[in-house]
Amino acid sequence: MRTPILLAGAAAMSLAACTSTGNIERNAVKGAALGAVAGALIGNNSRGGDAEEGAEVGAVVGAIAGAAVGARQDRQQEGGTYRKSRRPAQLTYDERADRYYYYDAETRRYYWQNGEPRD
């Protein structure tokens, strides 16, 4: 019965090639691990003590929830924070270039919305 858990873990890890940030994959794997533990505990204490089935269900639900959290993080990065800095950057509109840019306090440089340096 460990096959579904292994398949869920392999599927979550195989998503690594799907995005460039890695938030979805990282959170899916974490969610699957936490869900498996929580599911095993809940399954062991209910339904006649079936920890294995609880772990399987928990892993799947956790992976889905973790991937959703990672996707939300990606959307937030696309909406204002593009570089991996400690503080979110505020976008400013450049009318001449018809593009948005931001200032990164760590590097003390300006960047376009897509992360390219603004010269």
Q: Residue 16: what pLDDT?
A: 47
Question: What is the distance between the alpha carbons of residues 14 and 29, in angstroms, rounded to a whole number?
Answer: 10
- Is the whole model's pTM more than 0.85, yes or no? no
Q: Residue 47: what pLDDT?
A: 64
Q: Name the token pair of 73.
A: 């993080």
How do the pLDDT tens digits run along the chain, 119 residues long?
Answer: 555 555 555 555 555 445 555 777 888 888 888 888 888 888 888 867 778 888 888 888 888 888 888 777 777 766 544 455 455 678 899 999 999 999 988 888 999 888 889 88
Strands 109-112 and 92-94, sheet pairing: unpaired
